[in-house]
Amino acid sequence: MSDPFFHPVSGFDLPRFAGVPTFMRLPHVPADHPRFKDVQVGLIGVPWDSGTTNRPGPRHGPRQLRDASTMIRAQHASSGMRPFETVNCADLGDVGPNPADIQDSMARITAFYAQVVAAGIRPLTAGGDHLTSLPVLRALAKDGPLGMIHFDSHTDLFNSYFGGTMYTHGTPFRRAVEEGLLDPKRVIQIGIRGTMYDTEDRDFAAANGIRIVTIEEFFERGIADVMQEARAIVGAAPTYVSYDIDFVDPTFAPGTGTPEVGGPNSYQALQVCRELNGLNIVGADLVEVSPPFDQSGNTAFLGVSIMFEMLCAMLTPTKG
Amino acid sequence: MSDPFFHPVSGFDLPRFAGVPTFMRLPHVPADHPRFKDVQVGLIGVPWDSGTTNRPGPRHGPRQLRDASTMIRAQHASSGMRPFETVNCADLGDVGPNPADIQDSMARITAFYAQVVAAGIRPLTAGGDHLTSLPVLRALAKDGPLGMIHFDSHTDLFNSYFGGTMYTHGTPFRRAVEEGLLDPKRVIQIGIRGTMYDTEDRDFAAANGIRIVTIEEFFERGIADVMQEARAIVGAAPTYVSYDIDFVDPTFAPGTGTPEVGGPNSYQALQVCRELNGLNIVGADLVEVSPPFDQSGNTAFLGVSIMFEMLCAMLTPTKG
Amino acid sequence: MSDPFFHPVSGFDLPRFAGVPTFMRLPHVPADHPRFKDVQVGLIGVPWDSGTTNRPGPRHGPRQLRDASTMIRAQHASSGMRPFETVNCADLGDVGPNPADIQDSMARITAFYAQVVAAGIRPLTAGGDHLTSLPVLRALAKDGPLGMIHFDSHTDLFNSYFGGTMYTHGTPFRRAVEEGLLDPKRVIQIGIRGTMYDTEDRDFAAANGIRIVTIEEFFERGIADVMQEARAIVGAAPTYVSYDIDFVDPTFAPGTGTPEVGGPNSYQALQVCRELNGLNIVGADLVEVSPPFDQSGNTAFLGVSIMFEMLCAMLTPTKG
Amino acid sequence: MSDPFFHPVSGFDLPRFAGVPTFMRLPHVPADHPRFKDVQVGLIGVPWDSGTTNRPGPRHGPRQLRDASTMIRAQHASSGMRPFETVNCADLGDVGPNPADIQDSMARITAFYAQVVAAGIRPLTAGGDHLTSLPVLRALAKDGPLGMIHFDSHTDLFNSYFGGTMYTHGTPFRRAVEEGLLDPKRVIQIGIRGTMYDTEDRDFAAANGIRIVTIEEFFERGIADVMQEARAIVGAAPTYVSYDIDFVDPTFAPGTGTPEVGGPNSYQALQVCRELNGLNIVGADLVEVSPPFDQSGNTAFLGVSIMFEMLCAMLTPTKG
Amino acid sequence: MSDPFFHPVSGFDLPRFAGVPTFMRLPHVPADHPRFKDVQVGLIGVPWDSGTTNRPGPRHGPRQLRDASTMIRAQHASSGMRPFETVNCADLGDVGPNPADIQDSMARITAFYAQVVAAGIRPLTAGGDHLTSLPVLRALAKDGPLGMIHFDSHTDLFNSYFGGTMYTHGTPFRRAVEEGLLDPKRVIQIGIRGTMYDTEDRDFAAANGIRIVTIEEFFERGIADVMQEARAIVGAAPTYVSYDIDFVDPTFAPGTGTPEVGGPNSYQALQVCRELNGLNIVGADLVEVSPPFDQSGNTAFLGVSIMFEMLCAMLTPTKG
Amino acid sequence: MSDPFFHPVSGFDLPRFAGVPTFMRLPHVPADHPRFKDVQVGLIGVPWDSGTTNRPGPRHGPRQLRDASTMIRAQHASSGMRPFETVNCADLGDVGPNPADIQDSMARITAFYAQVVAAGIRPLTAGGDHLTSLPVLRALAKDGPLGMIHFDSHTDLFNSYFGGTMYTHGTPFRRAVEEGLLDPKRVIQIGIRGTMYDTEDRDFAAANGIRIVTIEEFFERGIADVMQEARAIVGAAPTYVSYDIDFVDPTFAPGTGTPEVGGPNSYQALQVCRELNGLNIVGADLVEVSPPFDQSGNTAFLGVSIMFEMLCAMLTPTKG
């Protein structure tokens, strides 16, 4: 049972549109807060998009996600789990990036997460573009390479862009494999689609043992079957979950920078998360929500609904 | 066969974007109109949203629904029914609410519908928020409790909000059961989903015999199976149909105040109505269309497409 | 000089789009916070719009205003004032309203402000619709009627709406005069325009000595002349400032519920505030920002720019 | 004094967002209505845009203008006139155009207005694109050429487009002069601006005695001076007023097809109408409101505010 | 293998948001360009919407489609085809229509396509409303009637509108059959739905042997089964493919003028194209994208994704 | 007189919404085009925003500006100048930036402009964020420091951001002065406003002789007086003009990243450019148009109207 200090305010007591918006109406507990040491799961924003190669905007993601997240209530509809009463959850605030310096930003992000990891807090991140995952993994994988279940329409496994630029949102997991942060044989990428430059990324995956499930395979086999394979691939060892909102069809999630049509609907977007229960999840992220391309906040609301599902999955008992 | 006075103007004679917009281009026949007594099905707007606990706006629903409804043509595509040539349909205008007084508004609505019922007119309502259904039921259920098929993502069965407020759009059907307007054993709620405050509403349903079909059950069993059960539950006795637009996935119907992701698509939204044929429908409503959250009118167009389906269902011969 | 605890974070240290959004990046100091007693000026949100007679939405105002307010920097451009370093400013959070009960909401608002007044804090309010001003004045005018400078396109002096409803956003200042919260001879209303129901409100003003400056007079005489008269009317005694965003032309502030075309531009919207310097301002509000009608946040950004101007005016030394 | 049948419903009795939207909440009195013969000023929609050479959409103008017009109240703010109580005003409905046949549409429009003129009704038109004015003038100028005060950013005096097409919204007034519907020496065009193809239109104006006031001259001389000249040019003889919404700066009226930046603001847009008082106005139009380019309805609200001003001007006693 | 002159620029060399936007970043090769004779497949815009009977706007389609098309990369994700390296593809520019003259526009379009056909170029057209297909077919069917696979929610087989107007976007294929451009027994229409005026169009189809697959049949049988029938109907003879974006559900493609709810999703929208492989396709079009109703460009991005699928289908070897 | 090759297509020949959109419908003449050497004024896009410290998006500016620019016709309305017939103007295309590497991007930009300068072409640039001006000036000021007239709401004279980052859109002109590209005594900045971090930028200006005209001074003195001073400051020596769209009030130009309310309107935005006639302008830019924050294109249309004014000013004979 969690400490009541960490319970969100109910919409029955204070309307959901009222109040300073923290993630899911949780208390704001920055690193210098006296209760920081008691947090078990920390929701963190990384307002950063310098790795974006196409349409920018994810730097505004955490704020819009916080706003939309005040619509999230206390209990999961189908499992009945009440996560905020299960463990101590808190909004740890945002990592402050340097919008004009990629390396400096990555250093700041890794430093922030190192502090979180040192405090024994499991992070649930709201990006930010997908390059965000790299500096987060640098902090999380300090004891060895992690497995990863990765929902996305892109592999993000390219070597470089624009004549040799190594750090963009199209390269993080190639870097992560090269740096030993991910064990490629324990990585699965689900939902891959869209027109392609070439096969460089898929060749890298094939050469290293990364499993790619295209959208066609995903729809043909169905969620249960694909996710069973995903669970088998990552096994019981420590695993990261990375969820790019562009995994979902852009009609359901227009607020993103590099959409690819023909993806899962919102029901499927949630269902895949429910198949993560019982895994050994050391951290998760939801990235690439870009508010300038959906000022309505509808994409963000789907995003936080996904974050709530991942949060619940993180709290289910790990199965041997 | 209907009286030609009640036929809508064809888009072949007058383009669909032209003319003063009444519901489905029907004649505007307010209660003091000489032909009021000849109306058989009346389309009524209730521009009211004082029961809204989250994002307001349904007070603007009827006008946007009228605008979008001029896109509706004369014939149902699959059944071939031509409803406006079957019975006398008319736009009865709007009930005038009091935006700053909930009880006064409910009294006005009930009085308006009492007049409609007294004239032998079956009402098809365009809301307004879901509290609208309560004063409507007060007029319709004068001879005893009704059955109800209820499409929604929420049960609207809570007891109170904000420390004791009994009349909001989250409480109408609890009040209706308490007031004897609905027979809970003849009530089915379909599409329920979204994070939950607690189980108070579901406990009330269970205690009173209201059947709840969650979205997971809905997708697993399919429309035909679920609707067969719905038909069995309400039987041949008088039945009300209440359709909250947030039953539909918010990507298809963003113009609403309390969306829950992961719902049916627009095809499914129409198909469920087709399974209402032959029931003893004494009235129906489509509520919670909130134009400020979808100025494009796309949600309203889906809403009037649903209203047209419900209208056709109301006109099929009742099966023994 | 203010306590550094109350200084906002600089955009040079943390980008302005990052972080949990409080008003002007000030610390969040609710009433139960240990530093509450040290606050001198409190920024308060009242997310409430039950008094709205036309288009709703100001209940969402405080959150959007907080978001936009992170664009406000430390120093006033023309006066050089650095308000946050002058006195202790803080975000006191939102008053929690009851969206479905007007009287309950007004009681909650008055109670919140009574606590603020008791702590010696001067409030700067972000509404909410204009009925908000009434319960605020009930707390502020405990020692006698106040003067008021009121920027608006409407007088808000009507007696009732919809057949006898006494509390709407069109009646607050009539009630305030009747309740002895405002001294009508020390009240001036500036910017009045738009088509009229009748002259009931203006007759009340004339009978009670309230000065009305129409938009035509405002443009003919100019800001300096009109504001000099305003200053003379309220004098050195305690004065409230109420600023309805619909004072500004709706092209500059589309996010509001009852716009009237033909108003001041954004430069004029700021300039009138600069003429408030040196008055004895006991509180001020900025009301009727309605995010559903301007999802871009541009209206809110103008709104917080006006709030910053009013804040600076509140901090200038009072002239005998 | 007008017949109470022709009075609009008050927003105090029925909220302004409620009810079937007719122009200014007036009764809908089509030509076959028994009260048609009693109408003195008729508001008419012409939902037509086949003459558009650039961005289409004004076919949707009348409906959006009707919607926005329910915000118009009974009394003019500065003059105190209550037009609807002065003469019998009514919404005569829309002329039904043929969107795919320009000549057929013009014939339909002229026939409709001939009926209006025959009934002694003065028309106030809501367009439609500017070609609308031509078939209207054909009905109105049956007794000889009219004078015209024309607010616009374009002269609409070109000979042809696209290699010989004579009827577009860039040519109506050249045709009207050629057909003897307008007396060019009694025509003044105000607000002309924007980059030019060439000087063909201005050469035609110069050769025929049409007075052009550019936007630079308009701003330099001011409204009073320019409008005094306009009044002198048209004199006491029958005069038409044609108001293209693109006269106004596109920031204030973005919902139009061929905007030109650098125009009057909304206050000036209204003030010019007030200088029409006492002229012998036989008809007026407000054209080129294009809802697809401003779904917010703000342009339409400005448009109906202008229509209300023109209506009041039409009702002031004609000065010898 | 194609000539490198005809290769698009890679997003790795020049970011996809940069550069003058041609279709799919191909070279712009108008008819007077020296390489025109070497083009094998030409992408052509027809910015025209004079046949529209409801909401206009497709005249702006080609430009928005070009903009969105710069997101298309070199390789098809599932087949691996690299179309731009297979044959010489180019952007041939736009046909210049006459917005105010339907017959003149049709003549211009047919003349343009006659030139294309004479040069041995297969056209892939971006409309424009659906009347566009008629003048295109006049050029393509010079050697005899074609077969057609037609994706749409409407049959476009009506005889006339508005009392005898023969050329609108609701009549092109009736005209094409009458003119001998299409062999009705080799025509299949897929996705038909929405409320109907009457059965005139379906009666014409039945009388002439045109096969109509309603949306209900489409969903019941599935894509593979329906498309197998489609392939059998058109056979190995020359075939045209016409794709109205309103075939897709309007939630996925809101930017269109006459939407009908309850259609296929974006994945299905692409999949049907993949079943066109190996047919003898002499030309194809994607019509009715209307940017004013979706300024986000999302509809256009789906549209160009469909165009890319059709392009790849056109390049697969024809099966005997 | 210019070569007809360089004349734009008339909207009378091809509708303005048709065709591949180049700047002002000029021919696209990249550096490897045979006519490149004949260009006299080159319009260039720099789709880049890596220097943005707040809301991103100007990387999309050039494309939206090209789209809007097809609305520009051949002749200036008040001066009668026909610039495209005066000198050879062309669209030189976009500089390809590296979105993930600031230094690389600056090198690419300077190299591109060096080529332009070497060809004797005067550049008129469409940004891009304001950091764009720095690498452009590096190419233009090769023969010594330039004077500059700078329209903006910010000085862009800060030393660094985020703890030492030297290259952002808030620092370009400080770098330019330090690098000897600008002569600070020949620099004037007009329109400065908005809340301030501190006075570091103004202190630098004062210490180096840069003239700052605040918005208050601008409005008090008027355009003629301020611009006369500006002309005197830069004199007859080579001068650069840099126009940040946020100089204009954000209501008129919402599509930008760092708006400041209370600025000039669109008429004033154009008028200031007309006072540039006769100066020795070696280049000009219009920067900070950010399409994600104004998808309507209205900001871009104002932007290209300003570019057209600057182009005309660049072509007036230089006065001794």
Using pLDDT thresholds of 50, 70 and 90, give the confidence band for residue C12.
confident
| Chain E, nearest residue to F296 by Cα | E295
CB-nearest partner of F96 from E18, E63, E96: E18
Determine the average pLDDT of the residues in F81-105: 97
CA torsion F286→F290→F294→F299, rounded to 10°? 0
Q: D: neighbours with 3+ CB pairs under 8 Å?
A: B, C, E, F
Could you read off the pLDDT of B87-129 as tens digits, one per residue?
999 999 999 999 999 999 999 999 999 999 999 999 999 999 9
Determine the average pLDDT of the residues in B286-299: 97
pLDDT at position E1: 82
- Asked if F57 and A54 touch (Cβ cutoff 8 Å), the reply is no
* Whether residue E13 has pLDDT greater than 90: no
Report the alpha-carbon distance of residue C253 to residue C289 in Å, rounded.
8
Report the alpha-carbon distance of residue C291 to residue C256 in Å, rounded.
8
- Asked if C1 and C48 touch (Cβ cutoff 8 Å), the reply is no
Tell me what the pLDDT averaged over chain C comes to.
Answer: 97
Q: Which amino acid is at B291?
A: P
Report the alpha-carbon distance of residue F287 to residue D231 in Å, rounded.
44
How far from E207 is each of A129, C240, E177, CA to CA, in Å? Answer: 57, 79, 12
Determine the average pLDDT of the residues in F44-49: 98
Nearest by Cα to F226 from F177, F268, F197: F268
Determine the average pLDDT of the residues in A131-141: 98
Could you read off the pLDDT of B123-153 as tens digits, one per residue?
999 999 999 999 999 999 999 999 999 999 9
Report the alpha-carbon distance of residue A68 to residue D117 in Å, rounded.
57
Which chain E residues are Cβ-neighbours of B15 within 8 angstroms? 53-54, 162
Question: Is A98–F57 a contact, with Cβ atoms under 8 angstroms apart?
Answer: no
- Neighbouring-strand partners of residue F89: F41
Determine the average pLDDT of the residues in A180-206: 97
The whole-angstrom distance between residue E317's C-alpha and the CA centroid of its chain comes to 20
* 3+ Cβ–Cβ pairs closer than 8 Å linking E and C: no
Q: Compute the nearest-CA separation of C128 from chain F (Å).
A: 22
- Neighbouring-strand partners of residue A286: A126, A243
Determine the average pLDDT of the residues in A243-251: 98
- Region label for A253, one of left (φ > 0), alpha (ψ between -120 and 50) or beta (otherwise): beta
- Asked if E11 and E73 touch (Cβ cutoff 8 Å), the reply is yes
- Asked if C199 and D82 touch (Cβ cutoff 8 Å), the reply is no
* Whether residue C318 has pLDDT greater than 90: no
Q: Which helix (H) or strand (E) holds C126?
A: strand C122-126
Report the alpha-carbon distance of residue F118 to residue F113 in Å, rounded.
8
pLDDT at position E20: 97
Which chain D residues are Cβ-neighbours of B296 within 8 angstroms? 295
Using pLDDT thresholds of 50, 70 and 90, give the confidence band for residue E215.
very high
| Chain E, nearest residue to A217 by Cα | E78
**Mutation target among E98, E129, E175 for the D interface, most CBs of D within 10 A:** E98
| Chain F, nearest residue to A160 by Cα | F100
Q: Which amino acid is at A160?
A: S
Using pLDDT thresholds of 50, 70 and 90, give the confidence band for residue C320.
low
Nearest by Cα to F15 from D161, D158, E128, E288: D161
Report the alpha-carbon distance of residue C248 to residue C250 in Å, rounded.
6
pLDDT at position C281: 98
- Asked if F58 and F128 touch (Cβ cutoff 8 Å), the reply is yes
The whole-angstrom distance between residue F70's C-alpha and the CA centroid of its chain comes to 18
pLDDT at position D13: 87
pLDDT at position D12: 87
The whole-angstrom distance between residue E54's C-alpha and the CA centroid of its chain comes to 20
- Asked if D120 and D39 touch (Cβ cutoff 8 Å), the reply is no
| CATH 3.40.800.10 applies to domain E30-315 | yes
Could you read off the pLDDT of C71-90 as tens digits, one per residue?
999 999 999 999 999 999 99
- Neighbouring-strand partners of residue D124: D43, D284
Could you read off the pLDDT of E91-126 as tens digits, one per residue?
999 999 999 999 999 999 999 999 999 999 999 999
* Whether residue F274 has pLDDT greater than 90: yes
% of chain F residues with pLDDT over 90: 97
Nearest by Cα to F267 from D219, D303, C102: D219
* Whether residue F310 has pLDDT greater than 60: yes
Q: Which amino acid is at D42?
A: G
- Asked if F215 and F192 touch (Cβ cutoff 8 Å), the reply is yes
- Asked if C258 and C216 touch (Cβ cutoff 8 Å), the reply is no
Determine the average pLDDT of the residues in B194-221: 97
Nearest by Cα to A279 from A216, A234, A223, A244: A234
Could you read off the pLDDT of C25-74 as tens digits, one per residue?
999 999 999 999 999 999 999 999 999 999 999 999 999 999 999 999 99
Question: Is B93–D19 a contact, with Cβ atoms under 8 angstroms apart?
Answer: yes
Taking the alpha carbons at both ends of chain C, their separation in whole angstroms is 22
pLDDT at position E320: 54
Please identify among residues 161-180 of chain B the ones whose CB lies closer than 8 Å to any CB of chain C.
161-163, 165, 167-168
Q: Is D199 on the interface with F (CB under 8 A)?
A: yes
Residues 6 or more apart whose CB falls under 8 angstroms from that of F2 comprise: F40, F84, F85, F86, F87, F88, F89
Q: Which amino acid is at E84?
A: F
% of chain A residues with pLDDT over 90: 97
Tell me what the pLDDT averaged over chain E comes to.
Answer: 97
How far from C146 is each of A101, C186, C316, CA to CA, in Å? Answer: 53, 8, 19
- Asked if E245 and E287 touch (Cβ cutoff 8 Å), the reply is yes
pLDDT at position D76: 97
- Locate C229 and state its tokens: 């008269």
Q: Is A11 on the interface with E (CB under 8 A)?
A: no
Which chain E residues are Cβ-neighbours of A198 within 8 angstroms? 74-75
pTM: 0.98
Question: Is D45–B15 a contact, with Cβ atoms under 8 angstroms apart?
Answer: no
pLDDT at position F320: 54
Report the alpha-carbon distance of residue B243 to residue B303 in Å, rounded.
9
The verdict on whether residue F246 carries a ligand-binding annotation is: yes
- Locate E208 and state its tokens: 């002439």
**Helix ranges (DSSP H) in chain F:** 61-69, 102-118, 133-140, 172-178, 200-208, 215-221, 223-234, 266-274, 298-315
Determine the average pLDDT of the residues in E262-275: 98
Using pLDDT thresholds of 50, 70 and 90, give the confidence band for residue B320.
low
- Locate A81 and state its tokens: 């789990």
Using pLDDT thresholds of 50, 70 and 90, give the confidence band for residue B13.
confident
* Whether residue D259 has pLDDT greater than 60: yes
Query: What is the DSSP-derived secondary structure letter of residue E309?
Result: H
Determine the average pLDDT of the residues in C285-308: 98
Count of pairs with CB atoms under 8 A, one residue in A, one in C: 75
> Does the N-terminal peptide bond of residue C128 adopt cis geometry, omega within 30 degrees of 0?
yes
Could you read off the pLDDT of A54-97 as tens digits, one per residue?
999 999 999 999 999 999 999 999 999 999 999 999 999 999 99
- Asked if C186 and C208 touch (Cβ cutoff 8 Å), the reply is no
Angle CA D254–D256–D261, to nearest 5: 55
